[in-house]
Amino acid sequence: MNAAARPVRVAVLGAGTVGAAVARLLLTRADLYTERLGRPLELVGVAVRDVTKPREGLDPELLTQDTAGLVARADVVVELMGGLQPARGLIEQAMRAGAQVVTANKQLIAREGLELEVLAAECGVGLDYEAAVMAAIPVMAVVREALAGDVIRSISGVVNGSTNYILDLVARKGVSFDEAVRRAGDLGYLEADPSEDLEGLDSAAKIVILARTAWGIPVTLADVRVQGITGLTDIDFHNATGMGKVIKLVASAWRSGTSQRPRVEIAVRPVALPQDDALALAREGANVVIIDAESAGPLRLQGAGAGGEETASAVLADILRAARRV
Amino acid sequence: MNAAARPVRVAVLGAGTVGAAVARLLLTRADLYTERLGRPLELVGVAVRDVTKPREGLDPELLTQDTAGLVARADVVVELMGGLQPARGLIEQAMRAGAQVVTANKQLIAREGLELEVLAAECGVGLDYEAAVMAAIPVMAVVREALAGDVIRSISGVVNGSTNYILDLVARKGVSFDEAVRRAGDLGYLEADPSEDLEGLDSAAKIVILARTAWGIPVTLADVRVQGITGLTDIDFHNATGMGKVIKLVASAWRSGTSQRPRVEIAVRPVALPQDDALALAREGANVVIIDAESAGPLRLQGAGAGGEETASAVLADILRAARRV
């Protein structure tokens, strides 16, 4: 350890639930990170829309509305603003300036990740986004690294906690579907635009990123056959229960085609599963993913797939990884 | 990709179930690995005790009894012989010659891993052993990397498939304990020395390696309170069932002490768990581990924790990781 070495300068863009948690943990765990990294990780600033709004645990001097200026003085830029712009422009600015980039921006990576990967390679910097897919569940690392010597056959999972909360409420508590959707909304479990969750778009973004990583094929959201849960009725749930089944919104991707012309099929759709199926056992907001590889066989990963603090755990691991490259 | 680049020379020591699978897969997936690595991974030899014994899928010219000579001409040495010696001596020879080392040798790492880590650091080489703990379940990678930005609170799991097979047979099929042990032996599920499994020593080795990695504290097997399953009787199982519980052999490690004087507690023991507990749901030879971290919350990993091909999956990921350092 060499705490006297030049610190790695970290800029956090955005102070929503995830950004605030990341900034706070960078400060409270500073000694731990210095020890793990061998040099300090210094939070040089947090870009926010309104610097006058008080933020618990964050020195107001760290806050800035000059996002581009903050990006210019960081070794690692952590984009947690969400949305396509200005997030993408700031990431590009960071890469061109030679900074490492970490993001949890699922929609940006699903839609424009291929181009950003190309730019990262051109600039010789890293682009890490473990937190963009299922928060702290380390599914990207497993697909990319733990199975680096294997051949993945398929990936399937319950990857959206909000819809799972709704489906679980209907299946296990006998609540009507409409009422379950209302309760999820009241609890703040649905996005401002609830169709993101209910129509399966959130699940589609996650599975497309996983499929791209697993097979190195440049698939896009347009390759996903998506069916959400809004078309379901109480009769569907009644019928499923009658057959001893449980309806889950399942995102899946699997290899097809030949080894000469490899293809990937990707789908998001409600599926009636046997009650003892691993995916059927996902309760409330839990996320579960099963990765099946030729040698490893099926690996199951389960945990909290959302939440500010949980997502921050994955972002912080990516920040340490990025900092090692500085 | 640059297939014309100098190949990374890989030596495999041992051609048991795992060694044979690794050697075969290095040959059959050669093109894939060249593509992933950007240069070829060349299997330069497989050290065996008897070169005259035919090995399916392996060119006899690759076999050698001159293990030290093979080690001397490799960039990555993959130790899959098991046992403490000569495995340790060969690993030391490899490190001193500047080779990267990959091993699946659980007992060696549990007993002498601390010294080998020191030697690896002195020699400036890597020592990777994901496969030593729960085969293809990427628990080492999760503890070491995915949670690198987090603080692990506890690790607990059903980490020995043989004893779980026995306990599951008793709990779900009503087979007597003695009969279940006999069946596991007949099926080849127990080690040549069955006390390794039944007395909890295999589980102890795994949890001590995980604890060391999670908290960076140099714990040894002597720090584990171990109780196996041989003391259990049919009355214990009867009582557990009567209370709606399931007996599992649980390996666990958790932080104790203060932040100034951190300590780790480690235990392996039979525990009666509620039927819907995540560990109670481990069926047959399955392995399950739950890692609980401050920010991430509980992460559950489940899969095949043993088997030649499954272990080979983890060994091959480690070989690719090691080859990137060459």
Q: Sort A227 into a burial class: Cβ within 10 Å, 0-12 / 13-18 / 19+.
A: middle
Question: Are the C-beta atoms of B20 and B47 separated by less than 8 Å?
Answer: no
* Extended strands (E) in B174-235: 224-226
Question: Are the C-beta atoms of B205 and B134 separated by less than 8 Å?
Answer: no
In 3D space, the residue among B241, B216, B252 whose CA is nearest the CA of residue A32 turns out to be B216
Least confident of B79-83, B141-145, B183-187: B183-187
Q: Which residues pair with A264 in a beta bridge?
A: A255
- Give me the DSSP letters along A202-240: HHHHHHHHHHHHHH-----GGGEEE--STT--HHHHHHH
Instruction: Mark yes or no for CB contact B295/A21 under 8 Å.
Output: yes
Interface test with A, best of B37, B150, B287, B291 (most A CBs within 10 A): B150
The two tokens of residue A231 are 């078309």
Count of C-beta atoms within a 10 Å radius of residue B3: 12
Reduced to 3 states (helix: H, G, I; strand: E, B; else coil), residue B199 is coil
Shortest distance between the Cα of A87 and any Cα of chain B, in A, equals 23
Look over chain B and give the mean of its residue pLDDT values, rounded to a whole number: 94
Shortest distance between the Cα of A54 and any Cα of chain B, in A, equals 23
CA distance B27 to B57: 9
* pLDDT at residue A1 in the model: 47
Categorize the per-residue pLDDT at B305 as very low, low, confident or very high, splitting at 50, 70 and 90: confident
Categorize the per-residue pLDDT at A3 as very low, low, confident or very high, splitting at 50, 70 and 90: very low
* Distance separating the N- and C-terminal Cα atoms of chain B: 16
CA distance A218 to B284: 39
Tell me the average pLDDT across A46-60.
89
Instruction: Say what percent of chain A tops pLDDT 70.
Output: 99
Question: Which residue from A136, A137, A299 is facing B136, i.e. has the nearest CB?
Answer: A299
Question: Are the C-beta atoms of B232 and B247 separated by less than 8 Å?
Answer: yes
Q: What is the pLDDT of residues B103-114, one digit of tens each?
A: 999 999 999 999
Instruction: Mark yes or no for CB contact A141/B137 under 8 Å.
Output: no
Q: Which residues of A touch B26 (CB under 8 A)?
A: none
Q: Which residues of B touch A147 (CB under 8 A)?
A: 138, 313, 317
Residue A196 has pLDDT above 60, yes or no: yes
CA distance A284 to A302: 13
Q: What is the CA radius of gyration of chain B?
A: 21
Closest CA in chain B for residue A311:
B296
Q: Which residues of B touch A149 (CB under 8 A)?
A: 25, 29, 33, 313-320
Categorize the per-residue pLDDT at A56 as very low, low, confident or very high, splitting at 50, 70 and 90: confident
Reduced to 3 states (helix: H, G, I; strand: E, B; else coil), residue B33 is helix
Instruction: Say what percent of chain B tops pLDDT 70.
Output: 99
The two tokens of residue B227 are 């109780």
CA distance B201 to B250: 12
Question: Are the C-beta atoms of A88 and A116 separated by less than 8 Å?
Answer: yes
Residues of A marked as catalytic: 206
* pLDDT at residue B261 in the model: 80
* pLDDT at residue A223 in the model: 96
- H or E stretch covering B269: strand B262-274
Token pair 């046992």 in the structure block, residue: B83
Q: Which residues of A touch B321 (CB under 8 A)?
A: 145, 148
* pLDDT at residue A43 in the model: 98
Shortest distance between the Cα of B17 and any Cα of chain A, in A, equals 13
Q: Which of B53, B106, B173, B206 is catalytic?
A: B206
Instruction: Mark yes or no for CB contact A301/B301 under 8 Å.
Output: yes
Least confident of A38-47, B3-12, B61-70, B305-314: B3-12
Q: Is B53 a catalytic residue?
A: no
Residue type, A51: V
CA distance A48 to A63: 7
- H or E stretch covering B8: strand B8-13
Instruction: Mark yes or no for CB contact A313/B150 under 8 Å.
Output: yes
CA distance B316 to A147: 8
Categorize the per-residue pLDDT at A170 as very low, low, confident or very high, splitting at 50, 70 and 90: very high
Q: Which residues of A touch B295 (CB under 8 A)?
A: 21, 25, 136, 309-310, 312-313, 316
In 3D space, the residue among A53, A49, A111, A51 whose CA is nearest the CA of residue A83 turns out to be A111
Categorize the per-residue pLDDT at B4 as very low, low, confident or very high, splitting at 50, 70 and 90: low
- H or E stretch covering B287: strand B286-293
Contacting B with CB below 8 Å, chain A residues are 21, 25, 29, 32-33, 36, 130, 135-138, 141-142, 145-151, 281, 293, 295-304, 307, 309-310, 312-321
CA–CA distance from A262 to each of A50, A114, A195, B34, B215 (Å)? 49, 18, 32, 18, 42
Tell me the average pLDDT across A113-122.
97
Instruction: Mark yes or no for CB contact B136/A313 under 8 Å.
Output: no
Tell me the average pLDDT across A73-84.
97
* pLDDT at residue B233 in the model: 92
Tell me the average pLDDT across B129-149.
95
Instruction: Mark yes or no for CB contact A148/B317 under 8 Å.
Output: yes
Q: Which residues of B touch A301 (CB under 8 A)?
A: 299-302
- Residue A129's Cβ-side half-sphere holds a number of Cα atoms within 13 Å equal to 26
Q: What is the DSSP letter of B223?
A: G
CA distance B101 to B92: 9
A254 φ/ψ angles, rounded to the nearest 5 degrees: -150, 150
Q: What is the pLDDT of residues A268-296, one digit of tens each?
A: 999 999 998 999 999 888 899 999 999 99
Reduced to 3 states (helix: H, G, I; strand: E, B; else coil), residue B154 is strand
Question: Which residue from B295, B304, B313 is facing A149, i.e. has the nearest CB?
Answer: B313
The two tokens of residue B127 are 């020592």
CA distance A149 to A113: 24
Interface test with B, best of A8, A22, A150 (most B CBs within 10 A): A150
Instruction: Say what percent of chain A tops pLDDT 90.
Output: 87
Instruction: Mark yes or no for CB contact B25/A295 under 8 Å.
Output: yes
* pLDDT at residue B1 in the model: 47
The two tokens of residue A185 are 């909304």
Interface test with A, best of B17, B140, B295 (most A CBs within 10 A): B295
Q: What is the pLDDT of residues B253-298, one digit of tens each?
A: 999 987 778 899 999 999 999 998 999 999 888 899 999 999 999 9
